[in-house]
Structure 1
Amino acid sequence: MNMGSARHPNELSIVDGLVQLSFLVQSILGRVGGEHDLSIIQTRLLGIVRDREPSMLQLAQHLKLDKSSITGLVDRAERRGLVERIASTSDKRGFNVRITSAGLQLVQAGGAEIERQLHAAVEVLTEPERSQLAVLASKIVGAGPFAGKDSS
């Protein structure tokens, strides 16, 4: 036992804590997305396009997928009427992706449920602890190797 890092018996290490927290968030995203017949990656796609119209390349960068994967992802969402391709104003051969009203309704319904479940997950924390968690999470995400590259 390492005496330099004495922890409560039920307290996770920083690595285990972050991994378990990630699993919890991914589980919520997967469960709520599944209720709307969306995979986690489709949920993330809609989260990205809900308030912007990225190019296919920008989507690939945000989602860390290759071009063919993005094309298939957008094709499936477009067939469901959740997004539409629009001509790019900066690239005559390119397209941007815009959310449709049906997609926006799905984002609003699913987003409200995701928010409710995430708030329920942090109910064990006091209000000052929740505020501190928000500050720390923002600091970690903002300083990480992908800072500013994925806001979904």
Structure 2
Amino acid sequence: MPAISTVDGLAQLSFLIQGALERRAAEHDLSLIQTRLLGVLRDRRPTMQELAKLLGLDKSSVTGLIDRAERRGLVTRVPSPTDRRSSLVVLTDRARELGAGVAAGFESDVTAMLGVLPSRDRADLTELVGRLLVAHAAAHGVDLLDTLGSPE
């Protein structure tokens, strides 16, 4: 088998993964960015500014995203207990159900995709991906392991 460069391989893998996630999101009438929002909020209650940082978007884009999600009944804004000037973004029960449905299907797709690898390779891949993502986030001032408060 011809060797695939790291860059080409990661690019092609990202297309496969994004495609699977988009298909699962569409099954639940969600866009990819709405799905990302549900994933970020499933274990966090961030402010709008924190959410912008977590999603890698500017604050005005996040405001529009949250306005649309709120109209769909996916999120609510609650007053911050520590800063009266800001509010926290919280998932609704409906959004949690939608997110769980997308996640279950997506996990099934990725598990099937990775099923061709021996278990040791899957474990190594999991560790490498985790280290890479945590390091990248930290370099951009985001702590992936900080949940910014637990959901109610």
Query: Under TM normalisation by the shorter chain, which class is it?
Result: 0.7 to 0.9
Cα 1:58–1:101 change in 2 (3 A) is same
Partner of residue 36 from structure 2, selected from 44, 48, 52:
44
Structure (1 or 2) with the larger CA radius of gyration: 1
Q: TM-score, normalization: structure 2? A: 0.88
* 1:48 aligned partner, one-letter code: V
Structure 2 residue runs of 5 or longer lacking an equivalent are 145-152
Aligned pairs (5 A) from 1:128-139: 128-139=120-131
What is the CA distance between 1:121 and its match in structure 2? 1.0
Is 1:30 aligned with 2:44? Answer: no
Q: Hey, what does 2:142 align to over in structure 1?
A: 149
Correspondence for 1:3: none
Q: Which runs of 4+ in 1 moved over 3 A?
A: none
Task: State the one-letter code of the partner of 1:35.
Answer: E
CA contact (8 A) 2:134 2:143 kept: no
Question: Residues 27-106 of structure 1 correspond to what in structure 2 (within 5 A)?
Answer: 27-106=19-98
Write the letter of the residue equivalent to 1:38: L
Q: CA RMSD in A?
A: 1.7
1:150 offset after TM fit, Å?
A: 7.0
Percent identity, aligned pairs only, is 49
Q: Deviations over 1:67-126 (max 9, x none)?
A: 111011011111111110101112212111001110111111111111111101111111
The one-letter code matched in structure 2 to 1:77 is A
Please give the TM-score of this superposition, normalised by the length of structure 1. Answer: 0.88
Q: Which runs of 5+ in 1 are unaligned?
A: 1-7
Contact persistence 1:84–1:98 (CA under 8 A): yes
CA contact (8 A) 1:88 1:95 kept: yes
Amino acid at match of 2:16: L
